[in-house]
């Protein structure tokens, strides 16, 4: 890790912002809604907000600074590696007010250390790890609220407008990406690197063509209306078993019009909206994405292909991939609202034609933000992988999940870049995931 371009003041601002957002994401919920029903894909909110504070205390205060715990027995409550999922509803957790006091005490202790301004590389790393960990949970809080049908949260600096679908012209067709050598992954000079991105290694890319935009709600509705969920030939074996067990006939938040019409509606938090045909389909899983591709005569991109389309540049002649790689699709400047739909600023997706300033070198739009994008690649370690200090982050999930890339509308911009790897089981529909397609070889 090279932390020279991130100072203590910037980290302190991120610590305040991350904890402030966590508070906002739950402050409107009643005690009953904080508890939530026992489901495999959610945690009790009261447990999870305590967990993010424990993680920060564990790594920044106790691991680095060697301070005593701020709360007796806290690890037995909040250590996710030790506390099994289904037992989190039975724990004798601190009350709501006590949990908030603990979260505040951890934050203030961290800020006190950051106020000294003399951070080494090690302390910088663990501060960033804890901020990004809280950012991930903040996004999870958002899709947990969606799963449970809770109202949209009120967040500072974020505004929902149901009429702002984003009518910018959609770039049609495919981007042609030439073959060549891609250095897949992150280099050691990045400001922060998750262990599963280590390290950049050469991968030969064959020429391919990838859609300039993600698949839209309107396009996916056509697949549904054509009987896509009932046609066995469109589904892989595992996908068909999932479809039958889930009794799935359409995306999880698609509903027919309440007046008996055939038009579709989509649930967004606790409200129904008419289908937005120009926005990306969201909350579809890897099996659904794969079945759509078979129906459309297309395929999902591999992980190296996705990174090439997002991060690579062509040579001057355009017939090969250049050796250089961009940190973001548009270049090396950090994300801003003109380039990417991130940070929950819009509280929803925007139309797939929006944000042309964020195009990649090959003309692919919205490769960061809006929706996570499923790839066809199993989540595996890069050559020479060594787990980071937080050993449970990646290693337990290798070979068990599929890779998603690109970030969603609720993903924090300070964390995302072209090399970031997300990973979920292919049956998960709750995350803010969509996909784009590639031409068959």
Whole-number Å distance between alpha carbons of 298 and 214: 13
Among the ranges given (219-233, 255-269, 326-340), the one the predictor scored with the smallest mean pLDDT? 255-269
Cβ atoms of residues 1 and 197 within 8 Å: no
What letters, b where the CB count within 10 A reaches 16 and e where it falls short, cover 201-224? eebebeebbbbbbbbbbebbbebb
The predicted pLDDT at position 16 comes to: 98
For the stretch 392-422, pLDDT in tens is 999 999 999 999 999 999 999 999 999 999 9
For the stretch 264-296, pLDDT in tens is 999 999 999 999 999 999 999 999 999 999 999
Give mean pLDDT, residues 186-213: 96
pLDDT > 90: what percent of the chain?
Answer: 93
Checking if the pLDDT of 240 tops 90, the result is yes
Kindly report the number of other CB atoms within 10 A of residue 101's CB atom.
14
Looking at residue 361, the DSSP 8-state letter turns out to be T
The predicted pLDDT at position 245 comes to: 98
The predicted pLDDT at position 259 comes to: 59
Model confidence at 161, pLDDT cuts 50, 70, 90, reads: confident
Average confidence score pLDDT of the chain: 95
For the stretch 424-436, pLDDT in tens is 999 999 999 999 9
Give mean pLDDT, residues 24-48: 95
Chain length of the chain: 441
For the stretch 90-113, pLDDT in tens is 999 999 999 999 999 999 999 999
Give mean pLDDT, residues 292-312: 98
Give Cα separations from 152 to 23, 135, 347 (angstroms).
14, 18, 8
What percent helix, strand, coil does the chain show, rounded to 5?
35, 15, 50
User: Both tokens of residue 323?
Assistant: 């050796």
Whole-number Å distance between alpha carbons of 425 and 441: 26
Give mean pLDDT, residues 208-223: 98
Contacts of 261 (CB under 8 A, 6+ apart): none
In a 3-state reduction of DSSP, which class is residue 31? helix
Model confidence at 164, pLDDT cuts 50, 70, 90, reads: low
Whole-number Å distance between alpha carbons of 151 and 41: 18
User: Both tokens of residue 149?
Assistant: 């049908």
Model confidence at 4, pLDDT cuts 50, 70, 90, reads: very low
Looking at residue 183, the DSSP 8-state letter turns out to be E
The predicted pLDDT at position 117 comes to: 78
Looking at residue 84, the DSSP 8-state letter turns out to be -
Checking if the pLDDT of 209 tops 50, the result is yes
For the stretch 246-257, pLDDT in tens is 999 999 999 988
In a 3-state reduction of DSSP, which class is residue 377? strand
In a 3-state reduction of DSSP, which class is residue 18? helix
The predicted pLDDT at position 118 comes to: 79
Cβ atoms of residues 405 and 303 within 8 Å: yes
Contacts of 42 (CB under 8 A, 6+ apart): 36, 144, 147, 148
Model confidence at 165, pLDDT cuts 50, 70, 90, reads: low
Give mean pLDDT, residues 39-56: 96
User: In the chain, what are the domains?
Assistant: 8-148 (1.20.120.450), 157-441 (3.90.1580.10)
For the stretch 54-96, pLDDT in tens is 999 999 999 999 999 999 999 999 999 999 999 999 999 999 9
């Amino acid at each position: 890790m090279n932390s020279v371009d991130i100072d203590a003041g910037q980290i302190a601002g991120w610590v305040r912002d991350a904890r402030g957002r966590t508070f906002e994401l739950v402050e409107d919920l009643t005690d009953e809604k904080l508890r939530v029903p026992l489901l495999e894909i959610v945690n009790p909110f009261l447990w999870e907000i305590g967990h993010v504070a424990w993680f920060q205390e564990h790594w920044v205060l106790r691991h680095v600074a060697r301070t005593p715990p701020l709360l007796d027995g806290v690890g037995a409550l909040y250590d996710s590696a030790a506390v099994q999922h289904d037992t989190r509803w039975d724990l004798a957790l601190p009350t709501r007010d006590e949990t908030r006091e603990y979260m505040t005490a951890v934050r203030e202790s961290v800020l006190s250390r950051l106020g000294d301004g003399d951070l080494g590389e090690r302390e910088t790393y663990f501060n960033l790890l804890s901020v990004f960990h809280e950012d991930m949970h903040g996004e999870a809080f958002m899709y947990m609220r969606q799963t449970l049908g809770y109202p949209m949260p009120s967040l500072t600096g974020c505004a929902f407008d149901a009429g702002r679908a984003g009518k910018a012209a959609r770039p049609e067709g495919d981007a042609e990406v030439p073959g060549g050598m891609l250095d897949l992954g992150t280099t050691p000079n990045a400001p922060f690197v998750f262990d599963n991105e280590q390290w950049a290694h050469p991968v030969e890319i064959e020429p391919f063509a990838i859609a300039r935009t993600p698949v839209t709600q309107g396009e996916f509705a056509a697949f549904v209306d054509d009987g896509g969920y009932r046609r066995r030939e469109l589904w892989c074996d595992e996908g068909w078993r999932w479809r039958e067990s889930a009794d799935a006939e359409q995306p999880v938040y698609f509903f027919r019009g309440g007046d008996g019409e055939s038009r579709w509606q989509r649930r967004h938090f606790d409200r129904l909206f008419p289908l937005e045909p120009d926005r990306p389909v969201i909350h579809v899983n890897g099996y659904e994405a794969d079945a759509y591709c078979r129906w459309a005569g297309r395929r999902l991109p591999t992980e190296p292909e996705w990174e090439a389309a997002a991060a690579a540049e062509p040579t001057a002649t355009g017939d090969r991939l250049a050796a250089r790689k961009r940190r973001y699709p548009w270049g090396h400047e950090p994300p801003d609202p003109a380039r990417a739909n991130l940070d929950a600023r819009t509280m929803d997706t925007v139309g797939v034609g929006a944000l042309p300033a964020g195009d990649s070198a090959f003309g692919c739009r919205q490769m960061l933000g809006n929706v996570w994008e499923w790839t066809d690649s199993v989540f595996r370690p890069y050559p020479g992988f060594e787990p980071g200090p937080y050993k449970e982050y990646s290693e337990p999930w290798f070979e068990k999940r599929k890779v998603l890339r690109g970030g969603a509308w609720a993903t924090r911009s300070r964390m995302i870049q072209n090399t970031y790897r997300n990973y979920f089981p292919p049956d998960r529909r709750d995350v803010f995931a969509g996909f784009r397609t590639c031409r068959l070889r």
